Structures are given as C-alpha cells and as structure tokens.
Amino acid sequence: MNTVAMKRDREEALTLEILEAIDRREQVSQRRLADELGVALGLANSYLRRCVRKGLIKIQQAPANRYVYYLTPQGLAEKSRLTAQYLKSSLDYYHRAGASIADCYADMVAAGHRAVAFAGMSELSEIASIRSHDFPLRVVGTYDPGATVDRFIGRPVCTNAAELDCDAVLFTALANPDTVYACLNESWPAERIFVPSIVAPVLRGTGHAH
C-alpha cells in the first residue's frame, strides 16, 4: 500500500471513530474525544472541524461553555458507508494475510521444517495459528521481545529468541517490526525466518530472505 493510500485509510478510520463516538453520546468534549481516539487534542479538533465543513456534524452551544455535537443525516449515511468499507477491508486483509502466510508455510514444508514459532504477537499471528492447521506443521509458541504475558493464543511466549525450540520462524510482528526482526536475526539466520508478503513492505532494509 502506498503512502497516499495509507494516509487516506488513516483519515477515514479517524473520521469513522469520531462519527461513532458522537453517535454514542452527543455531549462529548474535544478532550474526551481525543482521549478516546488516542490522538492529540489538536488533531481531534482538526478532524471535528473537517466533519463540520463536510456537513457530517452539527454543533450547538450548551450551558457552561459546553458544546453538543450531533450527526446530521449526511453524517449518519457517511458512518454507514465507512463502516461497510471497514468491514470489507478487514475481510480483504484477512484473505490476503491468510494467503501470504500459506505461501510461507508451503515454503517451510518444502524445506523440511515441521516445528514453527511466531515472531510478534498480533492479529497476524492469530490468522497464522488458524492457517497452520492446513499444513503438517506444529506451532510451538511465540517470540516477542516486548512481551509482558507468558502465553498467547494458548501457547508459551518467550522474550529471548535464542530460547525458541523450532525449525523455522514465521514473522508476524506488526508493532515495531524492524526492532523485532533485528532482535530475532541476532539468534536466527535469515534463511530460517519466513516473512509473509503482507508484512514485507513494512520492513526497512533488513535484507530478509523470504
């Protein structure tokens, strides 16, 4: 996905979150909205003003210098459109992720590997766990250098890559992927680290083999 498309997706995701938050309760402050979205107050304010300009949101002043935000009919329609688009993109992602993981699993089996570990706790590793049942592979656990739990999707988690007892590693890190790969590569050769094509674009200059 190119930078322009990623920016557009981020903007639409934030717009949907704002519309959903206002639809849940009209009397919400900009600060509370920013906290809910996990963004800076200035960014929340910018998106609110953009939604007002587009006619998606109306603002009314309430007592004690408060403001009431509510969705216009156009805002409700846009929320429905973005929700449907999000669900479709989620399904598309699931299918693309599953296919790219299956390619890695096929390569592992062809190379004679049978025991595999995941590198990185994420929704991608959950998809990988499901797809593993289609191959003669055994998932032994997950490596994540920043893990604060000792089990994930029913299997042990370790923070030291050298402790992994497996034949190959499937790279599933979505948060800080470069850091996770670098730590993993200190103990594992690149030819035994399999990176799904859906993850490869986010790795910068690691020189991974798969």
Same domain for 106 and 194, yes or no, is: yes
- pLDDT of amino acid 11: 79
Class of residue 22 by CB neighbours under 10 A (exposed 0-12, middle 13-18, buried 19+): buried
Predicted TM-score (pTM) of this structure:
0.63
Same domain for 45 and 124, yes or no, is: no
Residue 25 to residues 68, 91, 136, Cα–Cα distance (Å): 9, 29, 50
Taking the alpha carbons at both ends of the chain, their separation in whole angstroms is 19
Decide if 49 is inside a domain.
yes
Decide if 36 is inside a domain.
yes
Same domain for 107 and 151, yes or no, is: yes
pLDDT tens-digit series, residues 73-103: 999 998 888 887 777 777 788 888 999 999 9
Strand partners of residue 190: none
pLDDT tens-digit series, residues 15-28: 888 888 888 775 67
Same domain for 181 and 121, yes or no, is: yes
Say which range, 2-11, 128-137, 172-181, has the weakest mean pLDDT: 2-11
Distance in angstroms (rounded) separating the CA atoms of residues 4 and 27: 33
Q: Which domain holds residue 189?
A: 96-202
List strands edge to edge, sheet with 168-171: 151-152, 155-158, 138-143, 115-119, 168-171, 193-194
Same domain for 54 and 125, yes or no, is: no
On the question of pLDDT at 54 being above 80, the answer is yes
Average pLDDT over residues 28-47: 79
**How many domains does the structure of the chain reveal?**
2
On the question of pLDDT at 71 being above 60, the answer is yes
Domain boundary pick from 71, 104, 124: 71
CATH code of 190's domain: 3.40.50.720
Same domain for 28 and 118, yes or no, is: no
